[in-house]
Amino acid sequence: MSPNRIDVHAHYTGGTVDETFRNGFALAGGFKMSVQWSPQAALEYMDRQGIATQILSAPWTFTGTADDPGFATRWARRVNEEYAQLIEEYPGRFGAFAALPGDSAEAMLEELAYALDTLHLDGVMLNSNTAGRYLGEDWAEPLLAELHRRQVPVFLHPFDSPVIADHLGFGRASSVCEFPFDTARNVINALYRGVFQRYPDLKLILAHCGGALPTLGWRIAEHSTMGTGPRDAALDAAQVTRALSGLYYETALAGGRHSILPTLEVTGADHILFGTDWPAAPEATVERAIEQLMTNSALTDAQRAAVQRDNALALFPRFA
């Protein structure tokens, strides 16, 4: 077991997050966290699993409510300041993807600047949709332009689609299939709307090896030759292939051959990162997922070692 893994998919559910859900907000996805989060619980888990560093995220992008229009802005600020305190108290053990409010691109940009320039967090967390809005739509342009300018890593975590999940979820947890579908849905929309042509250096990390996206890679590229929608960019198969190869894919619940083989069809092993999804995924599931990764014949020993640490250092060099 590697003693120095960097886990780019680890969830923070302490402090403000815990308070929020205790006050009546339902967890997205239809499941409960496997443990009560605390710094000590996280560190003990990390030591058991050979993880040197977790880059934390709180995978919920809230919007204000009619009764409390400032809720989302206040929530994101509090979470980000808690991240900064954890990073200071436990040097090298924690990093963080900044939480952003989902009210507007302007609100996102304001918190992004504070989180990166004042708190010096390591990246930004976005959901696969924000209140039903996807990347590639007009609302996201100012945010994407700033993320591209800053060259900051962006962790794209799946979230319920408010339109689709209600009709097609069959009452099951969204993490079974809707989460990986929504990741693909978001990236496909961004591809066809020309996001990666306008912002070719976006550093997007896709949860769960991109969900369904790699398996659909050739199909998505080929469909670009058949004509696109009236609002879509002019696109060809080579541009789709190039865009998919430039994304990063992490291995939470996706370290086996079923996930890694199609991922290696769209990108190189140097764009695969280690992730666990703890504590959303219970530790026994994490251990089985790691075992799949460590015995995966699709990767060489050198590639497997790089997935666990070195590939992440290219995006997060401070952890070297």
Per-residue pLDDT of the chain (320 residues; tens, 9 = 90+): 557 999 999 999 999 999 998 886 655 545 567 789 999 999 999 999 999 999 999 999 999 999 999 999 999 999 999 999 999 999 999 999 999 999 999 999 999 999 999 999 999 999 999 989 999 999 999 999 999 999 999 999 998 876 666 666 666 677 777 888 999 999 999 999 999 999 999 999 999 999 999 999 999 999 988 877 778 899 999 999 999 999 999 999 999 999 999 999 999 999 999 999 999 999 999 999 999 999 999 999 999 999 999 999 999 999 99
Distances in whole angstroms, Cα of residue 64 to Cα of each of 68, 75, 102, 237, 266: 6, 10, 8, 40, 38
User: The domain containing residue 68 runs over which residues?
Assistant: 5-319
Bridging pattern class, strands 123-127 and 51-57: unpaired
Give the whole-angstrom CA distance, residue 186 versus residue 163. 14
Structural domain tally of the chain? 1
Residue 243 near residue 280 (C-beta atoms within 8 A): no
Q: At 120, which CATH number? A: 3.20.20.140
pTM here is 0.95
